[in-house]
Amino acid sequence: MRRKLVAGNWKMNKNIDETAELVRSLAASVKDLPADADIVICPPFVSLVIAKPLLENTRIGLGAQNMSQQDDGAFTGETSARMLLSAGCTHVILGHSERRQFYGENDPLINKKVQKAIAAGLTPIVCVGETLQERESGITDRVITAQIKGVLAGISADDIGKVVIAYEPVWAIGTGKNATPQQANDVHRLIRKLLGQLYSWAAAEQLIILYGGSVNAQNAGTLFREPDIDGGLIGGASLKADGFTAIITAALEASKK
Ligand code: PGA
């Protein structure tokens, strides 16, 4: 059975001191929870190094929010996989819709980043999702299929198990409008079937597929109980220790079924 994963995407929030404070309170609030789900937080780059020692001896892993497709070199403003590893990251969010929307990232670029992350031993959390216009035009399945094929191009059958997918409908991110559990599960199911065709059913069954988009303590439970939803990528609600802990608790509860 797949383990649930709850990942916090802090986006461009929290300075160094605020990071230390939130990591400390989060570590304290998850301390006594059962270890049946995985937890990762993804603070901004500058805060990774302060977060790492505070996460020692906790069950919380560390991830970054983006990564260069290049190795070290003359790429002003970029951060390499090697740097993320040395900062203590195990995960990296790639292809978030805000990167696609505001920084021109597209599937071929994200695919290069996914390949680089896997080669470096980082677990990529690869984001896909349709816009409201695409959903209303009835082309969600086509958009998601193209994105999945694009971001995973060239990833081998041996490596597909190292990838986490996050389905994040763009219209649900930061809007307070989450997809219904059924809407979300339908797309998760589509992704799993597609992976079954592209790789194997066994690989597809193992794949962790997160839902993201206005997940909070109130709606997490019903989303996470859906058969193809393996946890969440949490934005706004990951910025408060108690709210994020409630979401982790919902993942633990859903794992019992
Ligand atoms: P949200 O963001 O939970 O604030 O909607 C999710 C995400 O963008 O990863």
pLDDT, one tens digit per residue, over 198-231 is 999 999 999 999 999 999 999 999 999 999 999 9
pLDDT for position 257: 64
168 in contact with ligand 1, CB cutoff 6 A: yes
* CA-wise closest residue to 216 among 255, 178, 256: 178
pLDDT higher than 90, residue 181: yes
pLDDT for position 53: 98
pLDDT higher than 90, residue 47: yes
Q: Give nearest CA residue, ligand 1 atom 7.
A: 235
pTM value > 0.95: yes
Per-domain residue ranges of the chain: 4-254
Note the residue count of the chain.
Answer: 257
| pLDDT tens-digit series, residues 134-161 | 999 999 999 999 999 999 999 999 999 9
Mean pLDDT over all residues of the chain? Answer: 97
pLDDT higher than 70, residue 164: yes
pLDDT for position 176: 86
Question: β-pairing, 231-234 with 91-94?
Answer: unpaired
DSSP state of 227: T
CATH code that applies to domain 4-254: 3.20.20.70
Q: How confident is the model at residue 104 (pLDDT cuts 50, 70, 90)?
A: very high
The pair of structure tokens assigned to 105 is: 């990232």
* % of the chain beyond a pLDDT of 70: 100
Chain-centroid distance of CA 187 in Å reads 16
pLDDT for position 214: 94
Vertex 165 angle, CA 21 and 136, to 5°: 105
* CA-wise closest residue to 80 among 43, 33, 116: 116
pLDDT for position 100: 97
DSSP state of 214: S
The pair of structure tokens assigned to 38 is: 């995985």
Q: Which atom of ligand 1 is nearest to the CA of 9?
A: 9
pLDDT for position 13: 98
Q: Which atom of ligand 1 is nearest to the CA of 238?
A: 3
Q: Give nearest CA residue, ligand 1 atom 9.
A: 235
- Alpha-helix runs per DSSP H in 174-219: 181-198, 201-206
